[in-house]
Amino acid sequence: MYAVIETGGKQLKVKVGDEIFVEKLKANDDEEVTFENVLLIKDKKVHIGTPYLKGAQVKCKVLKQGRAKKIIVYKYKPKKNYKKKQGHRQPYTKLVVEAISV
């Protein structure tokens, strides 16, 4: 059984027991988060929403809040003496999927 959920402007395929990384959520560690934007659930049958399934939920538990590895953003224009170096660390929330219900 798996589900496709929408969070942070992205769609994720999840199964029970999966550990997923999503855009930062306002939740503390060991707190339960419920996603109600469920696009699809497949068990014995395929349930497809238009665009979302009514009454479907995916329950997750927050494992930790963190920040990803630093990426370097470097802008450069040749012959114009323009250089700009910038670093960025994207915040995330690590979740474990506990239950999928239709």
Half-sphere exposure at residue 7, Cβ-oriented, CA atoms within 13 angstroms:
26
- Quickly tell me which residue has 């450069």 as its tokens: 76
- The pTM of the full predicted model, rounded to 2 decimals, is 0.84
Whole-number pLDDT of residue 102: 85
9 pLDDT exceeds 90?
Answer: yes
Which residues, 6+ apart, have CB-to-CB distance to 70 below 8 Å?
A: 87, 88, 89
Whole-number pLDDT of residue 38: 95
